[in-house]
A and B are shown apart, each in its own frame.
With several copies, the nearest count.
Chain A
Amino acid sequence: MKRKLTMIQAITEAMDQKLADDSRIMLLGEDIGVNGGVFRATEDLIHKYGPDRVVDTPLAEAGIIGSAIGLAMNGKIPVVEIQFLAFIYPGFEQIVSHAARMRYRTRGQYHVPMVIRTPYGAGIRGPELHSESVETFFAHVPGLKVVAPSTPYDAKGLLIAAMEDPDPIIFLEPTKLYRAFKQEVPEEMYRVPIGKAKVVQEGSDISIFAWGAMLRVAEDAAKQIERENGLSCEVIDLRTLYPLDRDTIIASVKKTGRAVVVHEAHKTAGLGAEIISIINDEALIYMKAPVKRITGFDVPVPQFSIEDDYLPTAERVKDGIMETATF
């Protein structure tokens, strides 16, 4: 009998297993102890591992991330939970000016093995600033890695890999998918490699790149398009946003000659632009049409009554696919 887990359960299990496996692992964050985290990602872990390893911190993100940097330099592997992505900003300086640079500045003498987990993205009727998707801020910072799973299986495997990675990782968890569906997840520890995209569905006519909650939107659109228009879509889950898996991107567009990128971040300077540029650099002559971006708009994420209109929909992705296919 195969066991199925939601993404949040898979994430909890990854932390649970690594806490058991490696005494250096420590969790830190607001309300992650007795409360088990606002999304219950750390449910019960304080009871299992005690308050020295699952630490309820004061409400101060620079303090959390900054002290985690110190912990990491002195033998610990801190796994930080930031309650929502927008609340990482008070710790932005610590991430950009310190976590990402410690190895570099000390020529490898000190490094910062640390994972910063945070829910991100819109679609759960959250209040203001609970729906941001600003992965660009981190994908522009050499020294960081940025990961965003789209399934329970990948979430567990990527989080375990992240906790074993010697460098600081921003681990973006699509809030909308936390409990959206269950998937078979092996009980044992396993790793999904950081830096590798996944071809979710092979196809020959057009490549669709997405991550996080947008992956399902892309898959939906792809299915509908195949049914309605007979186009064969190759759907690729990038999974790691920095560094991007260029080889997989290029191999796909060389085959299809057409591509659509779907992300919920704002369009301008979103990662769609980087993916287009990688294609421009490496495969322009293979392209039969401009790469299409279907993204969040260049406006602040609106209040939740119209947030769904901000988000890319299967309908918009389909339009993008058709525009590209008929170029």
Chain B
Amino acid sequence: MIRFTLTKDTTVFFIEKERDVSMSSLYQVLSPAGELVGDLKGQLDEVTMIKMYENMVLVRQFDRKSINLQRQGRMGTYAPFEGQEASQVGSAMALTPGDWLFPTYRDHAAAIVHGQSMARVFLYWMGHMEGSISPKHLNIMPPCVPIATQMVHAVGTAWASKLQNEKHVSIAYFGDGASSEGDFHEALNFAGVFQTPTIFFCQNNGFAISIPFSQQSASKTIAQRSAAYDIPGVRIDGNDIFAVWLTMKEAMQRALDGKGPTLIEAVTFRYGAHTTADDPKKYRDQESLSEEWRKERDPLQRLRVFLENQGLWNETKEAELNARVNEQIDAALVDAESYPKSKPEDMFKHVYAEPSWMATEQESELVKPSKQEGIPA
């Protein structure tokens, strides 16, 4: 419960007296045990539920594959998202093709589900110059590296959609750590003022690299910050894909109805390292924490139990699915590894619409004419 005291005789009125920040206070529809504890509002059909599960399995396998590829030296540093599948898959599945998606370096599950090719994502992590291209007719932005900076872009694209009467939302993914940056504040404030159809989707995975949220802010939640801008905010179970999807749909509807932005805090956890260059054992009780989340709140597990109970899923389907996604991932990897390598000259392209004289000249400095060139063939 949230309460503020407001009296005339003590001057301080905005002190918060109590706030329930326990897991049980999160908006939840599907419990960790796979039971329906909330209302589906007649919106979630079986086909979608099965697709949710399939997508989560796909991206989890993709993630694990990527870690392996990095270990084998076939990819650069990689940022895994295992544990956050419900948040990313559920939110991305709520989108429609014309929406604008602003991922961070950890949101390729969302990008893939929205239509990014896995081969492209591999290329990105292989350091390829063409790793950030969006599929045509979709607006999947390059993964954003400088923390929180994409949040204001998602205000801008949404604002343009609104001005152009296009019925699209923009969604900015960001982390708990990102909520400390000034850009977080400026983005939410702008979105509030211009009532842009922007969804600020925070995956609060509890850590910004090594920093737990308790050290990131004295505030207990991120959702409560929506009140600072008089925009709606919500704190949900980010491992419950139904809650994520339903919340997104509601936020999207509000956005498209001209009622402006929403801040969603999806409480979740990354099971593994911040990136493959990180060692989580240095800063947290990695084993027990990770095990606790895996065992007690895993997003895939609870949906599988639910689907099985509904008679919508079984061992055979699971085996088939696993085979299928592995095949898809392998095919994507073949595509990525057989994709023409970036050439040194590529760096001189697309700096400007028309290359400057510097680029033209420097390109020739790089690509030296063959020493043989004077010798007639």
Q: Do chains A and B touch in the complex (CB under 8 A)?
A: yes
B37 at the interface (CB under 8 A from A): no
Cross-chain contact A59 with B156 (CB below 8 angstroms): no
B3 at the interface (CB under 8 A from A): no
Q: Which of B100, B147, B163 contacts A59 (CB 8 A)?
A: B147
Cross-chain contact A59 with B180 (CB below 8 angstroms): yes
Cross-chain contact B155 with A298 (CB below 8 angstroms): no
Assuming the contacts A52-B163, A69-B153, A267-B362, asked whether A310 and B211 have C-beta atoms less than 8 A apart, the reply is no
Binds B, one of A90-98, A183-191, A208-216: A90-98
A56 to B342, CA, bound (A): 39
Contacts of A72 in B (CB 8 A): 156
Assuming the contacts A69-B152, A129-B146, asked whether A300 and B351 have C-beta atoms less than 8 A apart, the reply is yes
A110 to chain B, nearest CB (A): 8
Contacts of A106 in B (CB 8 A): 132-134, 142, 350
Cross-chain contact A299 with B351 (CB below 8 angstroms): yes
A275 to chain B, nearest CB (A): 14
A58 at the interface (CB under 8 A from B): yes
B109-152 vs A, CB cutoff 8 Å, 1 = contact: the mask equals 00000000000000000111111111000010110011101011
Contacts of A73 in B (CB 8 A): 153, 156-157, 160
Cross-chain contact A125 with B211 (CB below 8 angstroms): no
Within 8 A of A (CB), among B145-201: 145-147, 149, 151-161, 163-164, 170, 177-178, 180-183, 186-187, 189-190, 193-194
Residue of B nearest to A295 (CB): B362
A103 at the interface (CB under 8 A from B): yes
Within 8 A of B (CB), among A48-96: 52, 55-63, 65-76, 78, 86-87, 89-90, 93-94
Cross-chain contact A267 with B155 (CB below 8 angstroms): no
Contacts of A300 in B (CB 8 A): 347, 351
Contacts of B69 in A (CB 8 A): none
A304 at the interface (CB under 8 A from B): yes
Contacts of B160 in A (CB 8 A): 70-71, 73-76
Cross-chain contact A166 with B353 (CB below 8 angstroms): yes
A38 at the interface (CB under 8 A from B): yes
A60 to B178, CA, bound (A): 8
Q: Which of A74, A90, A103, A142 contacts B353 (CB 8 A)?
A: A103
A102 to B143, CA, bound (A): 11
Contacts of A59 in B (CB 8 A): 147, 177-178, 180-181, 208, 211, 216
Cross-chain contact A309 with B347 (CB below 8 angstroms): yes
Q: Which of A90, A105, A129, A243 contacts B132 (CB 8 A)?
A: A105
A126 at the interface (CB under 8 A from B): yes
B210 at the interface (CB under 8 A from A): yes
Within 8 A of B (CB), among A245-272: 246, 267-268
Assuming the contacts A63-B189, A72-B156, A106-B133, asked whether A306 and B209 have C-beta atoms less than 8 A apart, the reply is no
A104 at the interface (CB under 8 A from B): yes
Cross-chain contact B208 with A75 (CB below 8 angstroms): no
B341 at the interface (CB under 8 A from A): yes
Cross-chain contact B342 with A126 (CB below 8 angstroms): no
Contacts of A109 in B (CB 8 A): 133-134
B352 at the interface (CB under 8 A from A): yes
Residue of B nearest to A166 (CB): B353
Contacts of B141 in A (CB 8 A): 110
Most buried by B among A34, A36, A129, A166: A34
A61 to B181, CA, bound (A): 8
Assuming the contacts A86-B146, A93-B149, asked whether A306 and B182 have C-beta atoms less than 8 A apart, the reply is no
Can you list 15 residue pairs at the A/B interface with Cβ under 8 Å?
A57-B190, A58-B216, A60-B189, A63-B182, A67-B159, A71-B160, A94-B149, A103-B352, A108-B353, A125-B127, A142-B351, A297-B363, A297-B365, A298-B351, A303-B131
